[in-house]
Homo-oligomer: A and B are copies of this chain.
Amino acid sequence: MTTSEMLQRARRAVPAVAALTAEERTAALCAMADALEAGADRILAANAADCAAAEGKISPVMIDRLMLNEARIAAMAQGIREVAALPDPLGRVISSSVRPNGLCIERVSVPLGVIGIIYESRPNVTSDAAALCFKSGNVCVLKPGKEAAASASAIVGLLKEALLPFGAADAVNIPEDTSRAAAAEMMAAVGLIDVLIPRGGAGLIRACVTGSKVPCIQTGTGICHVYVDAAADQEMALKIIENAKTSRPSVCNAEEVCLVDRSIAPEFLPKLKKRLTDCRTAAGKPPVELRLCPESAVIIDGTPASDTDFDTEFLDYILAVKVVGGVKEAVGHISAHSTGHSDAIVTSDPSAAEYFLNTVDSAAVYHNASTRFTDGGEFGLGCEIGISTQKLHARGPMGLCELTSYKYVVRGSGQTR
């Protein structure tokens, strides 16, 4: 089947998938989870072929992301079961009113239609994304990186078998061709795909956002800031910064830039250096390399920051550090350099906190907490398909409700205008 034929089939499946009841969708998700476990041998054989083909071509870290085993397949199945157990996002009456003419108007949540996901080499994204899209009544088209093609195809094949008894085998789709040509065809599929969600590195996201004719949700890139105000509890600030920077440096909600108020910089920066480098080295943990602005470099030792260091998502044990003159200058710097993901202030001054929370224009703004909380699970959404850094449709972690649209249902008794 060509990619074009597959996209047509996906589109045609929309009404049947949207018409499934909440109970049917939940039962189908449980069947999907069971199918992955029952078919683990097929997935592992395909994954072994993927890993063998990728050997020597991608880094050991990437091979580890690609590699599946029984435990990882069980975790994928468990992930589907957790999605199955979440509240139904469809048919919610978001608002309702009775107009003076007697018309009863309800705004009711409905599926988006066909969601395209373009991702990279993690095979588990296949089942995650399929489960979230299906739970929200959507058809999905999943385009993995070519390294994960055999694994993803095996997973989709099993999911389709599980969906067949529900008349919904075409709810989950994968192109036979997993090259860039298929991605380009998806980006051009106006009228067939309703929204495209890229999941992966900055290059992939940029390619989708700038190249897609289909509406696209910009996800992921995070140059996150923590600003330590003059009135900060400095011990709290150290704890938050170490957590935001080092608990998982490779993720988008990790801190990349620390801004410090000038009045406390001579006191705070030596503590910061001690906490992030000396103490961590002594404890056998990876130390953080500090990239210092000229003013902070006078106070502590570190690498001089280059022109690009305040605009870089390091995704590593590296932190850019800059001295600023108060909360307004901090917000100004963030406005100029942030990717609009997650930014935090540490302060005991309520007015500085409110100014920061009101003025920083990011998906998530924090007072006295780590940026690492920007996550669907941590925000109570139960799951997430990605973190939107755009303002249209959804912003921040996208859970099941963010995978829905709505329609107006109007009930009358012969009203005319």
CB closest chain-B residue, reference A248: B417
The distance in angstroms between the C-alpha atoms of A301 and B369, with both chains bound, is 73
> In the complex, which of the residues B391, B408, B416, B417 contacts A364, with contact meaning CB atoms closer than 8 Å?
B408
Q: How far is the CA of A110 from the CA of B392 in the complex (A)?
A: 11
Q: Is A86 in the interface zone, CB < 8 Å from B? A: no
Q: How near does chain B come to A22, taking the closest CB pair, in angstroms?
A: 13
Q: A416 and B103 in contact (CB under 8 A), knowing A365-B408, A367-B410, A410-B367?
A: no
On whether the beta carbons of A361 and B407 are closer than 8 Å, the reply is yes
- B239 close to A367 (CB less than 8 A): no
Complex contact A112–B417 (CB within 8 A): no
For A210, what are the chain B residues with a Cβ–Cβ distance below 8 Å? 190, 213
Is A38 in contact with chain B by the CB < 8 A criterion?
no
Please tell me if A18 contacts chain B, counting CB pairs below 8 Å. yes
Main SS of the interface on chain A? Answer: mixed
Q: Say yes or no: A97 contacts B380, CB within 8 Å.
A: yes
In the complex with contacts A365-B410, A369-B412, A19-B417 CB distance below 8 A: no
Q: Mark A367-411, 1 if CB is under 8 A from B, else 0.
A: 111101110001110000000001111011000000001111111
Decide yes or no: A392 and B194 within 8 Å by CB, A15-B335, A370-B415 being known contacts.
yes
- Would A414 and B236 count as touching, CB distance under 8 A? yes
With A240-B416, A367-B410, A392-B393 already in contact, 6 other A-B pairs whose C-beta atoms are closer than 8 Å:
A112-B392, A194-B392, A363-B407, A365-B409, A369-B411, A374-B408
Binding site for B on A (CB under 8 A): 14-15, 18-19, 97, 99, 103, 105, 110, 112-113, 190, 194-195, 209-210, 213, 215-216, 233, 236, 239-240, 242-244, 247, 335, 353, 357-359, 361-370, 372-374, 378-380, 390-393, 395-396, 405-417
Could you list 17 A-B pairs, sorted by A, with CB under 8 Å?
A: A103-B373, A110-B391, A190-B209, A194-B390, A239-B416, A240-B414, A364-B408, A365-B408, A365-B410, A366-B412, A368-B413, A368-B414, A368-B415, A369-B412, A369-B413, A392-B393, A395-B407
